[in-house]
């Protein structure tokens, strides 16, 4: 860090914290408020454009709340271990709660965006301080005041900030592209899976067919060897229980558990209304609370078509119609009713064409996500090297 100056955060400008106006006076202090009031949950590790709550001018006059100016750097001192060390940069005059410290950076010494980037790159240090010797992890105002920062000259700070922002913009652009591609695939899938859009060359009317033509109930018991215990969720599909819950939750005896193999269909009858259904890529066992079905439709269809179909909005509606019970969130969908569901289904060849296209789009999205992840790792590596002086921009070497 030749040419860089060591300082502490208190050297950069005043450090202040806010407060919470009395909730007992909600109508006076919060309702109809116009002053953004920042809590740790509002911190974005970047510019803050909106807050969950606002307070009134009266709250500002009658409480110890303060207003900090734009370009103040914010740091969360407590509010849960995952919140500690989160940062933000104000874009307008804002009030704060007591869990946040604000640094009003002297811009003749440091660029606020450089300070923000430095803090973000050193999040692990905040975590170590918070967990060091306290029963209730937090960082104090004194910890913030004494926190070290290394500063190059202002022109180099601004150049580093610009390079970091360019890298962040590339990640945001990749995220936006993924979002558009996912939305396109979802809309196209709904059209293809319902027959609203068809490939050229296919004109045979779709036939009403029950799911029982493609699936059969399966009740194989757990093998004697120690099997992989699996879980079903709408978000993750079928995966090892230890990955979903960080530990194995199954009972000591699993003899009554159901054995499944790759390609079997599993759903949670109490949560089918929420699309908790998936094909398994694993061999293992699942709780007997789940319904398990084997695929018997090779002559009539393509399993990949049904994999897409079962996540569609069309099927989400069907799930609600076969789920029974008075508790809206715990309705049961019997396997007999599931197999009786009748849908308009295309011939096997058209199913394959639909599945091929949707699979190709899934592969595109996977590639885009890998590219985005690579950009993100590149950004992190760039930040680490630039903000430690390990790599200097050419014009400042």
User: What secondary structure does DSSP assign to 219-240, as a single string?
Assistant: -PBPPSS-PPBEEEETTTEEEE
Is 157 in the same domain as 146? no
Neighbours of 319 (CB within 10 A): 21
Question: Is the same domain home to 323 and 378?
Answer: no
Q: Evaluate whether residue 201 is within a structural domain.
A: no
Asked, for residue 191, whether it belongs to a domain, the answer is no
Residue 336 and residue 367 share a domain: no
- Listed residues 303, 327, 345: the one ending a domain: 345
Task: Report the phi/psi class of residue 250: left, alpha or beta, with left for phi > 0 and alpha for psi in -120 to 50.
Answer: beta
Residue with tokens 């209304």: 273
Asked if residue 249 and residue 165 are part of one domain, the reply reads no
| Same-domain pairing of 212 and 341 | yes
> Are 257 and 377 within one domain?
no
Residue 193 resides in a domain = no
Q: What is the CATH number of the domain that holds 55?
A: 3.90.220.20
233 with 361, same domain: the answer is no
306 vs 321: CA distance, rounded Å: 19
Q: Determine the 3-state secondary structure of 298 from DSSP.
A: coil
Domain membership flag for residue 194 = no
Please check whether residues 146 and 21 belong to one and the same domain: yes
* Cα separation, 142 vs 174, whole angstroms: 39
Q: Is residue 94 part of a domain?
A: yes
Give the global pTM.
0.81
Q: Is residue 381 part of a domain?
A: yes
Co-location of 213 and 316 in the same domain? yes
- In this structure, are strands 73-76 and 100-103 parallel, antiparallel, or unpaired? antiparallel
Distances (CA, A) of 216 to 191, 301, 335, 349: 27, 14, 9, 22
Give the separation between CA 139 and CA 128, rounded to whole angstroms: 10
The tens place of each residue's pLDDT in the chain, 397 residues long, gives 678 999 999 999 999 999 999 999 999 999 999 999 999 999 999 999 999 999 999 999 999 999 999 999 999 998 777 888 999 999 999 999 999 999 999 999 999 999 999 999 988 888 888 877 556 778 889 999 999 999 999 999 999 999 999 999 999 999 999 999 999 999 999 999 999 999 999 999 999 999 999 999 999 887 767 678 899 888 889 999 877 665 555 455 677 899 999 999 999 999 999 999 999 999 999 999 999 999 999 988 999 999 999 999 999 999 999 999 877 667 899 999 999 999 999 999 999 999 999 999 999 999 999 999 999 999 989 888 998 888 888 888 7
Residues 272 and 172 both lie in one domain: no
* Domain interval for residue 309: 207-345
Same domain flag for 267 and 306:
yes
Residue matched to tokens 């874009």: 91
Within a domain: residue 85? yes
Return phi, psi of residue 72, to 5°: -80, 140
What whole-number distance in Å separates Cα of residue 245 and Cα of residue 249?
A: 8
Question: Residue 195 domain-assigned?
Answer: no
Total domain count, the chain? 3
Tell me, yes or no, whether 341 and 352 share the same domain.
Answer: no
């Amino acid at each position: 860090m030749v040419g860089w100056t060591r300082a502490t955060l208190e050297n950069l400008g005043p450090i202040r914290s806010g407060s919470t106006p009395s909730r007992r006076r909600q109508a006076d202090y919060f309702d109809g408020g116009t002053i953004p009031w920042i809590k740790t949950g509002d911190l974005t590790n970047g510019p803050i454009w909106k807050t969950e709550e606002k307070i009134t001018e009266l709250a500002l006059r009658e409480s110890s709340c303060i207003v900090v100016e734009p370009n103040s750097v914010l740091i969360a001192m407590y509010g849960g271990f995952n919140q500690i060390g989160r940062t933000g940069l104000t874009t307008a005059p804002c009030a704060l709660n007591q869990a946040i410290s604000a640094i009003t950076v002297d811009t003749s010494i440091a660029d606020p965006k450089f300070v923000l980037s430095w803090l973000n790159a050193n999040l692990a240090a905040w975590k170590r301080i918070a967990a060091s010797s306290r029963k209730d992890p937090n960082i104090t105002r004194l910890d913030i005041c004494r926190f070290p920062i290394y500063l190059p000259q202002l022109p180099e700070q601004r150049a580093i900030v610009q390079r970091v922002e360019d890298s962040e913009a590339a990640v945001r652009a990749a995220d936006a592209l993924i979002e558009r591609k996912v939305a396109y695939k979802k809309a196209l899938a709904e059209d293809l899976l319902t027959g609203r859009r068809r490939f050229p060359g296919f004109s045979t009317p779709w036939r009403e067919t029950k799911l029982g033509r493609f699936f059969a109930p399966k009740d194989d018991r757990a093998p004697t060897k120690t099997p992989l215990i699996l879980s079903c969720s709408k978000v993750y599909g079928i995966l090892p229980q230890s990955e979903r819950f960080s530990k194995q939750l199954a009972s000591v005896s699993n003899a009554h558990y159901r054995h499944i193999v790759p390609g079997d269909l599993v759903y949670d009858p109490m949560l089918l209304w929420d699309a908790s259904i998936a094909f398994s890529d694993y061999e293992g066992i699942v709780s007997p609370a789940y319904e398990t079905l084997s695929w018997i439709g090779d002559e009539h269809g393509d399993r990949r078509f049904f994999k897409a179909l079962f996540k569609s909005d069309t099927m989400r509606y069907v799930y609600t119609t076969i789920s029974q019970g008075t508790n809206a969130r715990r309705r049961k969908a019997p396997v007999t009713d599931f197999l009786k569901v009748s849908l308009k289904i295309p011939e096997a060849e058209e199913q394959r064409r639909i599945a091929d296209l949707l699979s190709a789009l899934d592969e595109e999205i996977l590639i885009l996500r890998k590219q985005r992840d690579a950009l993100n790792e590149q950004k992190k590596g760039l930040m680490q090297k630039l903000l430690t002086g390990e790599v200097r921009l050419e014009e400042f070497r």
